Amino acid sequence: MYFHQSDILQGLEKDFLKKFMEITKRETFKSGHALYKEGDRADHFFILLNGRVRISIGETGHVVYTVDRAGEFFGWSSLVGRNKYAASAECIETAMLLRIDVGELNRLLEKDAQAGLTLYRNLSASLGNRLLQTYRLIPGMGLTDISRSYGTGQLQESDVNASLI
């Protein structure tokens, strides 16, 4: 089955994958097609089958990620309870995608808690890897240049060192 390539679907049982495929829609979009814009209602997520999709933020369209590996997912705002997409997605070449309605996925997951746990663990791992990639793109940025994580109780290392002096 194709989904052995997909990060978010790794480790899921064949029976669940069959049901998952029943709720997906395979669609092809031409280069330049906007799949969604930052702030649009988030009710779908996507899995890339082939092609390339640019993920950007802000009015200037600052590119934050390019989806270009078969099996990668995007549009994850809808999976984490956000009502609106946090970024925009545009095909930068013809792209074949699976589009998944999150409401239908949630109904499917409610019937299979183990599949839900596996899917959300995979989601967390993938998003964590993307975050680490982003950190690596900011070399030379000192810890004092990073704002505090207010509200979480976490302090930056520079804050801890300063309080020990």
Whether the predicted pLDDT of 1 surpasses 70: no
CATH code, 27: 2.60.120.10
Which residue range is the domain that position 92 belongs to? Answer: 2-139
In this predicted model, what pLDDT tens digit does every residue of 104-148 receive, in sequence order?
A: 999 999 999 999 999 999 999 988 887 887 778 776 555 444 444
In a domain, 39, yes or no: yes
Q: Is residue 77 part of a domain?
A: yes
pTM exceeding the 0.75 threshold for the entire prediction: yes
Query: How far is Cα 71 from Cα 47, in angstroms, rounded to an integer?
Result: 6
Tell me if 164 is assigned to some domain: no
What are the strands, taking DSSP E only, across 12-130? 24-29, 34-36, 44-57, 62-67, 73-74, 88-101
Look at residue 153 in the predicted model and tell me its pLDDT. Answer: 45
**Token reading at 82:** 């956000």
Q: Which pLDDT band, with edges at 50, 70 and 90, does 3 fall under?
A: very low
On whether residue 145 sits in a domain, the answer given is no
Residue among 50, 104, 48 at smallest CA distance from 79? 104
Decide if 51 contacts 91 (C-beta within 8 A): yes
157: in domain:
no
Kindly state whether residue 163 falls inside one of the protein's structural domains. no
Among the listed residues 7, 49, 43, the one whose alpha carbon sits nearest the alpha carbon of residue 27: 49
pLDDT at 146: 47
Q: Burial-class residue 70 by CB neighbours within 10 Å (0-12, 13-18, 19+).
A: middle
Domain count, the chain: 1
DSSP assignment letter at 158 = H
pLDDT for the residue 141:
52
Distance CA 32, CA 123 (A): 27
Per-residue pLDDT at 140: 58
Q: CA dist 119 to 95, 116, 122, 164, 165, Å? A: 24, 5, 5, 42, 45
Look at residue 11 and tell me if it is in a domain: yes
The answer as to whether 45 is a domain residue is yes
> Which residue matches tokens 């989904």?
3
